[in-house]
C-alpha cells in the first residue's frame, strides 16, 4: 500500500507553441494529447503511462500541481483519511478530471503546493515495447530523456517568525504518505534548522525535494538520462537550440547526481539528471550536509551555489 512514484507535473507556460518545441526538441518528449482548453500532454520514451508532463497556457510560469501514483485504488481512501486526520483538507476529484486518469485525491502540502494522488492512468507502453525490446528506440530527439524523475519545490522559510515549511513538508511526507528522508541540509545552532530535505518512495536518492525560500514556488522539474556522457550531449543540444543554461554540466554532492540546469522559454527551470547515485532504502542512514559544506553539497566541483540557483524560481 502507498505511493509508488511520481506520476506527472502540471506546469504553466506563456507561449504554448514555443514551449512544446522546447520539450520536444530539447528534452526529447512527444505530444500525446491536447485537450479543448489548450493543455498539452507529453511523455518520455521510457514511460509506460500516457503522459508525465502537462503544459497549461497561462500569463505566468510556475507549477499547477505535482501528482504521484499509488499502488491500489483503495489506497486513495486510506490516504485521504490519513491526510484529514493529520489536519489537512482534501478533495476527491472524479474520474476523467484529467484526461485518461481515474479519480484523484487533491490536497495541499504544508508549504501550500498542490499535490494529487491517483492510481489509474491509461497505459500505452514504452516506445520499445515490453516484448524483446531494444535498449532505445529509433528517432529520438534532443537529449532523449527516459522519464520525468523528480521535482524540487521551494518552501516558505523564516526562522525568526518560526516558519519552516521544509521541515513541515518533510514531516508530512514521512508520517502521512510513507516517504523516507535520504538527505538533508541543516543550518543554525547545532544544525537545528532544516533548510533542505530530499525524500524517496522508490529506491532512488529522491523522488521529491524541498528547499527553503522567502516564498512558495517551483525550483525545477527533472528528467532522467543514463550517464555523464548523455549529460554532456544534452548540453550540446541546449547550445544548438540556444537554451538559457543556468548551471553548466557538473555533479551534485547531494544525491551524487550529474546535472545541467536550464530554463524553458517561459522561465520554468528544467534539469537533466543522470546517475542513480546510490540505492535508497528505508534503513539507510540519513546523509546530512552541515552549514559549512552546503555549497559542496549543491555543486560538488566548485563548492558554491550560483546566485540564480538559489534566488530564481517560478
115's enclosing H/E stretch is strand 114-118
274's enclosing H/E stretch is strand 269-274
**Options 113, 220, 258, 313, the catalytic residue:** 220
Answer yes or no: 206 catalytic.
yes
**Options 8, 146, 180, 206, the catalytic residue:** 206
Answer yes or no: 220 catalytic.
yes
**Options 41, 51, 68, 261, the catalytic residue:** 261
**Options 47, 183, 258, 271, the catalytic residue:** 271
Each residue's pLDDT, cut to its tens digit, for the chain (314 residues) gives: 689 999 999 999 999 999 999 999 999 999 999 999 999 999 999 999 999 999 999 999 999 999 999 999 999 999 999 999 999 999 999 999 999 999 999 999 999 999 999 999 999 999 999 999 999 999 999 999 999 999 999 999 999 999 999 999 999 999 999 999 999 999 999 999 999 999 999 999 999 999 999 999 999 999 999 999 999 999 999 999 999 999 999 999 899 999 999 999 999 999 999 988 899 999 999 999 999 999 899 998 887 888 888 899 99
151's enclosing H/E stretch is strand 147-158
Q: Which pLDDT score is estimated for 126?
A: 98
Q: Which pLDDT score is estimated for 303?
A: 77
Answer yes or no: 150 catalytic.
yes
Q: Which pLDDT score is estimated for 1?
A: 63
- pTM equals 0.97
> How many Å apart are CA 35 and CA 45, to the nearest integer?
21
**Options 23, 68, 252, 313, the catalytic residue:** 252
165 burial (CB, 10 Å; 0-12 / 13-18 / 19+) is: buried
Answer yes or no: 301 catalytic.
no
Q: Which cell goes with 162?
A: 518560526
DSSP-assigned states of every residue in 17-70: HHHHHHIIIII--EEEEE-TTS-EEEE-TT--BS-SEEEEE-SS-EEEEEEEEE
**Options 150, 180, 183, 258, the catalytic residue:** 150
CATH superfamily label, 3-118: 2,3-Dihydroxybiphenyl 1,2-Dioxygenase, domain 1 (3.10.180.10)
Are 3-118 and 147-311 equal in CATH topology? yes
Domain range summary for the chain, segments of one domain joined by +: 3-118, 147-311
Residue labelled with grid coordinates 528517432: 139
State the fold for domain 147-311: 2,3-Dihydroxybiphenyl 1,2-Dioxygenase; domain 1 (3.10.180)
Amino acid at each position: 500500500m502507498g505511493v509508488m512514484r511520481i506520476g506527472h507535473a502540471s506546469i504553466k507556460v506563456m507561449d504554448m507553441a514555443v514551449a512544446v518545441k522546447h520539450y520536444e526538441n530539447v528534452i526529447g518528449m512527444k505530444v500525446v494529447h491536447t485537450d479543448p482548453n489548450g493543455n498539452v500532454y507529453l511523455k518520455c520514451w521510457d514511460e509506460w503511462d500516457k503522459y508525465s508532463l502537462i503544459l497549461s497556457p497561462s500569463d505566468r510560469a510556475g507549477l499547477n500541481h505535482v501528482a504521484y501514483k499509488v499502488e491500489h485504488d483503495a489506497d486513495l481512501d486510506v490516504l485521504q483519511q490519513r491526510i484529514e486526520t493529520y489536519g489537512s483538507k482534501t478533495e476527491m476529484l472524479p474520474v476523467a478530471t484529467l484526461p485518461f486518469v481515474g479519480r484523484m485525491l487533491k490536497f495541499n502540502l504544508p508549504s501550500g503546493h498542490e499535490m494529487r494522488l491517483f492510481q489509474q492512468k491509461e497505459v500505452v507502453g514504452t516506445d520499445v515495447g515490453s516484448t524483446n525490446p531494444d535498449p532505445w528506440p529509433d528517432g529520438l530527439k534532443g537529449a532523449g530523456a527516459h522519464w520525468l524523475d523528480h521535482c524540487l519545490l521551494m518552501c516558505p522559510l523564516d526562522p525568526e517568525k518560526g516558519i519552516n515549511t521544509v521541515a513541515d513538508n518533510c514531516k508530512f511526507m514521512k508520517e502521512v504518505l510513507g516517504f523516507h528522508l535520504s538527505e538533508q541540509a541543516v543550518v543554525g545552532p547545532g544544525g537545528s534548522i532544516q533548510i533542505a530535505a530530499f525524500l524517496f518512495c522508490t529506491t532512488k536518492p529522491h523522488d521529491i525535494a524541498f528547499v527553503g525560500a522567502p516564498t512558495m514556488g517551483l525550483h525545477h522539474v527533472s528528467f532522467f538520462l543514463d550517464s555523464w556522457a548523455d549529460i554532456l550531449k544534452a548540453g550540446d543540444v541546449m547550445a544548438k537550440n540556444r537554451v538559457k543554461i543556468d548551471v553548466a554540466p557538473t555533479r551534485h554532492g547531494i544525491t551524487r547526481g550529474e546535472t545541467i540546469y536550464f530554463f524553458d522559454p517561459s522561465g520554468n527551470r528544467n534539469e537533466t539528471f543522470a546517475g542513480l547515485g546510490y540505492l535508497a532504502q528505508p534503513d539507510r542512514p540519513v546523509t546530512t550536509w552541515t552549514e559549512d559544506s552546503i555549497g559542496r553539497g549543491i555543486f560538488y566541483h566548485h563548492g558554491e551555489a550560483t546566485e540564480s540557483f538559489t534566488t530564481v524560481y517560478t
